[in-house]
Amino acid sequence: MGKLFIWIGSHIRHVVQVAFTLVTNGYMAGFTNGTIYTGASKAVCVPGLNCYSCPGAIGSCPIGALQAVLGSRDFKFTFYIAGFLIFVGALIGKLVCGWLCPFGLLQDAIHKIPFVKKLRKLPGDRWLKYLKYGILVGFVILLPLLVTDIIGQGQPWFCKYICPSGTLMAGIPLVAADPGLQDAAGGLFAWKIGILVVLVFLSIAVYRPFCRYLCPLGAVYGLFNKVSLYRLIVDEEKCTKCGACKKACKLDIPVFKQPNSPECIRCGACKKACPNGAICSTFEKWTRERKGITNEEI
């Protein structure tokens, strides 16, 4: 039992990722029956990507929910979803991506597959990382608002044309379970499968390509990283700028310079790698202060 607790302690982030994925996608009957859960909890958003149409989903994805409201002919703004995103972002920022997002867990697992050469980033990373903001503005906000049908109804453009999480967790299970959907699946489904396949293969060589370049939800949370209650703090007196934090960071962030970069998913690798214990979170700092622990005692 002691070894189990030690293992859990050393893999706590992955344990939380798996647990949260199971909790938020716990309607197992949906996968066996090819049905979608429609209980009351579906009206509640969860922090990470969690496709509404996934057979196992018991909550809603904030990006999907936002598009549904913006594309509605009756409503063009939602205080609930906007407030939810602001609250979560202001509290923990992009920690959601590193600890609570099911599709982030999948990318983490895929990246462990051996490959000839692991890349720190894709060519053009400097500009590609801004693509997710374009997707947020264009596919999540503007297109559902402005491109409507004859009755004034918009479409969930990101979910329909891009989201690989929805393809994996909703599209594939539902099509596999329903012969009628198999017959109806056409070019759009093939396009979505293509995006998923490309991202799966990219994830082997590059750490979290979807999070880095395409995810609009991560784009929202990343904007809060510098102001969220949970932030990273670098003790300038202890930091020698040795670069160990950047070397450990799979997103290639120079943490000693940018501890709260919009790209940081708060995985904690930099804190473990720092030889001088110069990096901690605001939560850890507050805990130490309450216990009366000084920097010299750490």
Q: Which of 17, 47, 193 is nearest to 108 (CA)?
A: 17
114: left (phi over 0), alpha (psi -120 to 50) or beta: beta
CB count, 10 Å around CB of 261?
A: 18
What is the per-residue pLDDT for 5? 47
CB count, 10 Å around CB of 278?
A: 25
What is the per-residue pLDDT for 155? 93
Exposed/middle/buried for 290, CB within 10 Å: 0-12, 13-18, 19+? exposed
What is the per-residue pLDDT for 191? 96
CB count, 10 Å around CB of 297?
A: 8
What is the per-residue pLDDT for 8? 60
Q: What predicted TM-score, i.e. pTM, was given to this entire model?
A: 0.92
What is the per-residue pLDDT for 179? 83
The Cα-based distances of 114 to 108, 121, 122, 130, 144 in angstroms read: 13, 17, 18, 28, 40
* 157-185: b (≥16 Cβ within 10 Å) or e: bbbeebbbbbbbbbbebbbebeeeeeeeb
pLDDT under 50 in the chain at which residues?
5-6
In terms of C-beta distances under 8 Å and separation of at least 24 residues, what long-range contacts does 186-195 make, across chains too?
188/160, 188/161, 191/161, 192/161, 192/162, 192/163, 192/164, 192/166, 192/167, 193/167, 195/162, 195/164, 195/167
What is the per-residue pLDDT for 3? 60
